[in-house]
Chains A and B, each alone.
Chain A
Amino acid sequence: MKTKQKIYVLSIILLILLFLYLALGLNPVIWRYALSLRIPKTIALLLVAASIAFSSAVFQTLTNNRILTPSVLGLDSLYMLIQSFIVFVFGSGTLARLGENFNFIVSVAFMVGFSLLLFRFLFKREERNIFFLLLVGLVMGTFFQSLSTFMQVLIDPNEFLVIQNRMFASFNNMNTDILWLALLISFLAVLFALKDLRTLDVLSLGRENAINLGVNYDYMVKKFLIIISILISVSTALVGPITFLGLLVVNLAREILKTYKHNYLITGAILIGSIALTFGQLMAERIMNFSTPISIIINFIGGLYFIYLLLKESKI
């Protein structure tokens, strides 16, 4: 029952932060307008936190490894390639004219399509394991990166600013229409996974034990990988890449909750992720007036935490 109590405490912290974020600095004159800005931002924050926490937790279970995040699939690099390509070929004007909606749909479609192709190609043969898939994803990621670096260097510095803004996740200037679409897609993806959540506990015992306990391992891995790629694509296309948030929150959730059960672990990770993002945004917007995008700070902290994890653990 201790685990449950911790979950309650985390929920309360989140609620307080959310209240602060929404309410701080409101005044009678502009409250209506301010809230109309803040509420969508809050929803986006929670959506991104939940998507990333969920997919990272599941990903770590599938790979049986605490120090990987879905970013090794190469999706972030692909997203940056798409953005660089659009600006490089059509100019930032086109990017603006086409509208955020179009950009969002194209990006998501390409990212999900790429992952499906990758999975399909790799799972055709039995002996190929998930690590093999990751290495291929990484190579593709490096490949995408060299392509986009090439374009970025050629782009005019003013246009480059447009790309740079997209390199780092930001919750400002979000389009509400996309938000609803993103919410819907992510919701459907999670719904598709919901009934198999308990299977994740078994998957964390490794392939052989999972098969022994009656789990269709290969099918489950494929299914969860597809869900992960959808969630990551949607949240990346919505706000931009936040690479190490997942690493940070899932490991913190493990540390705090000390459980192997995924229903707690995932709930905890989502709560911690939401707390981290809300707190970061609160600090950035209301208190410090930070000019640095929140994702850079989170990647920075997440990265340091990763190094700490590597050094602390006696075995990995």
Chain B
Amino acid sequence: MIEIKSVVKQYGRKRVLDNVSLNIEKGKITSFIGPNGAGKSTLLSIISRLIGKDGGEVYLEGQLVDRIDYNDFARRLSILRQTNHINVRLTVRELVSFGRFPYSEGKLKAEDLEHIEKALEYTQLQDEQHKYLDELSGGQRQRAFIAMVIAQDTDYILLDEPLNNLDVKHSVEIMKILRRLVRELGKTVVIVMHDINFASCYSDHIVAFNKGQIVKEGEVEEIIRKEVLEDVYDTNFVVQDIMNRRICFYY
């Protein structure tokens, strides 16, 4: 479990996160939704220690994250940010191998190779593994980064808008991979999402943010409701059940 206790983050005088407290349960997909600038990505970055915080604590399975050694932390929690521009020219396999760095420090052992193979298989990138990243399509590249995170083999996986710039087919592929990770390997996945319907269809738990605070959190049925969403996004919503899923219209 990840426990977040009254976390504060401010840039200058502007509070991006205002006393946010939240528990993220193990073995589930939790989605963060909310309008732009609500603080979702900031919270994700704070949990994963990419940026510092101005107040509050974050615990990973009861341990204060700031006390966990860097390498140890990287074996337990991984993060994938939305902008993954890499200046080095790497093949898919080389990128995925980097996921083993926390274990191997660069010298791959048999066990590491096994993990790499498995990650490639999970993301169906075996055929592309020797291609360079800049030769891939957007969807394949995103899968390659997810494969790296899978190879990292952490219990917790945090993703910041993994569906950004992807078409429908590739978005569905990625969400299915994430679902499998939770179901088969018992991973805990936290995603920042822009598409509410994807959040609705694939999450176990949804946290709605607005203006640096959590407006409401709960199961899909509790959050994907007209009143809640209209409150969060300040737009008109129509919510309907279609084929046992909650779908919203907001156009």
Interface residues in chain A, defined as those with a beta carbon under 8 Å from any beta carbon in chain B: 64-66, 126, 198, 201-202, 204-209, 211-216, 260
Chain B residues with CB under 8 Å of A126's CB are: 51-52
Tell me, rounded to whole Å, the shortest Cβ–Cβ distance linking B157 to chain A.
10
With A202-B98, A260-B88 known, 20 other A-B pairs at CB within 8 A are A65-B87, A126-B51, A201-B98, A205-B98, A206-B85, A206-B87, A209-B84, A209-B86, A209-B98, A211-B50, A211-B70, A212-B48, A212-B78, A213-B99, A213-B101, A213-B102, A214-B70, A214-B75, A214-B102, A216-B70
Q: Are A260's CB and B89's CB within 8 A?
A: yes
Can you sample 10 A-B contacts with CB below 8 Å? A204-B87, A205-B88, A208-B50, A208-B79, A209-B84, A209-B86, A212-B48, A212-B79, A213-B99, A214-B75
Classify the secondary structure of A's interface with B.
loop
Tell me if B15 is interfacial: C-beta within 8 Å of chain A: no
B49 touching A211 by the CB < 8 A rule? Answer: yes
Q: Looking across the interface, which residue of chain B has its beta carbon closest to that of A202?
A: B101
In Å, the complex CA distance between A202 and B212 comes to 32
Q: How long is the Cα–Cα vector from A201 to B101 in the complex, in angstroms? A: 10
- Let me know if B94 is at the binding interface, CB within 8 A: yes
B74 CB-CB contact with A under 8 Å: yes
Q: Counting CB contacts under 8 A, is B226 at the interface? A: no
Known contacts A198-B106, A211-B50; is A205 also within 8 Å of B86 by CB?
Answer: yes
Q: Does B127 contact A (CB under 8 A)?
A: no
Most buried by B among A198, A208, A212, A260: A212
Q: Is B90 an interface residue (CB 8 A)?
A: yes
Given the complex of chains A and B, what is the CA–CA distance between A202 and B98 in angstroms?
A: 7
Docked CA distance A255–B89 (Å): 12
- Minimum distance in angstroms from A56 CB to a CB of chain B: 15
Counting from the closest, the 9 A-B pairs by CB-CB distance are A214-B74, A198-B106, A214-B102, A214-B71, A260-B88, A216-B70, A213-B101, A204-B88, A214-B70
Chain B neighbourhood of A65, CB < 8 A:
87
Minimum Cβ distance to chain B for residue A296 (Å): 31
B residues less than 8 Å from A212 (CB atoms): 48, 50, 74, 78-80, 152
- Asked whether B202 is an interface residue with its Cβ less than 8 Å from the other chain, the reply is no
In the assembled complex, the CB of B191 is this many whole angstroms from the nearest CB of chain A, namely 16
| Inter-subunit contact B98/A208 (CB<8 Å) | no
Determine if B216 is an interface residue (Cβ-Cβ < 8 Å): no
Most buried by A among B78, B88, B90, B99: B88
How many Å lie between the Cα of A127 and that of B1 in the bound state? 29
Inside 8 A of A206's CB, which chain B residues have their CB? Answer: 85-87
B contact residues around A201 at 8 Å (CB): 98, 101, 106
Determine whether B73 belongs to the interface, using a CB cutoff of 8 Å to chain A.
yes
Minimum CB–CB distance from B148 to chain A (whole Å) comes to 8
Closest A residue to B101 by CB, please name it.
A213
Which residues from A are CB-within-8-Å of B88?
204-205, 260
CB distance from A124 to the nearest CB of B (A): 13
* A208 CA / B80 CA spacing, docked (Å): 8
Could you tell me the distance between the alpha carbons of A214 and B90 in the complex, rounded to whole angstroms? Answer: 20
B101 and A214: CB pair below 8 A? Answer: yes
Asked if B73 and A214 sit within 8 Å, CB to CB, the answer is yes
Whose C-beta in chain A lies nearest to the C-beta of B85?
A206
B160 to chain A, nearest CB (A): 10
**Chain A residues whose C-beta falls within 8 Å of the C-beta of B85 in the assembled complex:** 206
Residue from the list B71, B78, B81, B105 in contact with A198, Cβ < 8 A: B105
Q: Which residues of A contact B107 (CB under 8 A)?
A: 198
Nearest CB on A from B80, distance (A)? 7
> Can you list, as one digit per residue, whether each of B86-112 has a CB less than 8 Å from chain A (1) or not (0)?
111110001000110110011100000
Contacts of A202 in B (CB 8 A): 98, 101
Chain B neighbourhood of A205, CB < 8 A:
86, 88, 98
Q: Which residues of A contact B74 (CB under 8 A)?
A: 212-215
Q: How far is the CA of A260 from the CA of B81 in the complex (A)?
A: 22
Name which residue of chain B comes closest to A64, CB basis.
B87
* Chain B min CB distance to A315 (Å): 10
